[in-house]
Amino acid sequence: MSRGKQPSKAPKVRKAVLTHTIADFEPAFWPDEQPVDNAVVMTMGALHEGHAALIRAARKQVGADGRVAVTVFVNPLQFGEGEDLDRYPRTLAADVRLAEENGADVVFAPLPEEVYPNGTPQVRIAAGPMGERFEGATRPGHFDGMLMVVAKLLHITDPDFAFFGEKDAQQLAIVRRMVADLDFDVEVIGVPTIREEDGLALSSRNRFLSEQERTQALVLSKALLAGRDAAAQGPKAVREAASAVLDGADGITLDYLALIDPEDFVEAPDDFQGEAVLAVAAKVGSTRLIDNVHMIVR
């Protein structure tokens, strides 16, 4: 009998496969017949620690033998005219490394022609009224375009679990609603927002901020935290505390600050009690940023 080595406790070193087509993705994601849990993390690339947290959560969920796919696709359908589709950062080689280091098996980075082979789709998914408020009011059609690609990527990747960040709270709520309303066979899991030490929520768009703008942007998370500190005094106090921080802040053009019932994404009335999301959207220079915090309002 061999005096046998103990099984190694070292984490499995993965090599993520990069695929650009559905035909290559399928055998890469399901290399054998064995049924294992699998998960998908959908991104637009320019990956950072926020995305890494989603990928690690996905890996943890499916276990060492499960399969994790990361999609990297800047979806033209969810960008409106005059938005930053053309300048959206594209860093695929670094994205593959980050995905791999955090537990991905496959990175699926298709071109628009692969996702929309017949050009602009005729049949659409509509987010409905939930997609017309807040982000949807400023970005008409954004959530319809987002749902279109999420639905397609769910069909292509066919996962047991799909991970989304709470950073995009309205997106997460609408995706959950689509999955429930259209009977998608997937469990949607939300992951808390990852921030810099000084509070700035990580975002692929932060790289567009000058040093001065980055400092000015800190007022957004400060306002949210001030609002959350007032949660025990009710919705009005939350709004007032957050507004007081934003009022007169330098370099910020506020789009909205709202206390929201996360179920259906409507403004929480003054007598609201329970779990709420305080969300903010603002332009800092020419860069539009969003952020939010969860709280229990009394």
Q: Which residues are catalytic?
A: 51
Q: Determine whether 185 is exposed, middle or buried from the number of CB atoms within 10 Å of its CB (0-12, 13-18, 19+).
A: exposed
Q: How far is the CB of 55 from ligand AMP (least distance, A)?
A: 9
Half-sphere exposure for 284 (CA within 13 Å, toward CB) = 25
The phi, psi pair for 30, rounded to 5°, reads -120, 75
Question: 29, 40 in Cβ contact below 8 A?
Answer: no
Q: Looking up tokens 């628009």, which residue turns up?
A: 112
Q: How far is the CB of 171 from ligand AMP (least distance, A)?
A: 6
- DSSP per-residue letters across 8-34: P-SPPPP-PEEE-SHHHHHHHH--SS-
Shortest distance (Å) from residue 47 CB to ligand AMP: 7
| Residue 146 found at the interface with ligand AMP (CB under 6 A) | no
Q: How far is the CB of 140 from ligand AMP (least distance, A)?
A: 19
Smallest gap from residue 122 Cβ to ligand AMP (A)? 25
Name which of 17 and 47 has its Cβ closer to ligand AMP.
Answer: 47
Q: Residue 114: what residue type? A: E
Place of tokens 């276990």: 63
Among 55, 191, 224, 257, binds ligand AMP (CB under 6 A): 191
Site for ligand AMP in 15-44 (CB under 6 A): 43-44
Closest distance to ligand AMP from the beta carbon of 193 (Å) = 4
Q: How many CB atoms lie within 10 A of CB 204?
A: 19
Choice between 179 and 230, CB closer to ligand AMP: 179
From CA 79, how far away is CA 76, in angstroms rounded? 6
For ligand AMP, the closer of residues 115 and 241 by Cβ is 115
The stretch near ligand AMP (CB under 6 A) out of 6-14, 200-208, 238-246, 248-256 is: 200-208
Q: Rule CB under 6 A: is residue 221 a binding residue for ligand AMP?
A: no
Residue from the set 18, 53, 174, 241 that interacts with ligand AMP by CB under 6 A = 53
d(CA 228, CA 66): 38
Nearer to ligand AMP, 56 or 239 (CB): 56
Residue choice 38, 71, 203, 206 for contact with ligand AMP (CB under 6 A):
203
Show Cβ contacts of residue 130 under 8 Å, excluding neighbours closer than 6 positions.
136, 143, 170, 173, 174, 177, 264, 265
Q: Map residues 153-182 to x or -, x wherever contact with ligand AMP holds by CB under 6 A.
A: -----------xx-xx--------------
Strands 38-43 and 287-297: unpaired
The residue among 99 and 202 lying less far from ligand AMP, judged by its C-beta, is 202
Site of interaction with ligand AMP (CB under 6 A): 43-44, 50-51, 53-54, 164-165, 167-168, 191, 193-194, 201-204
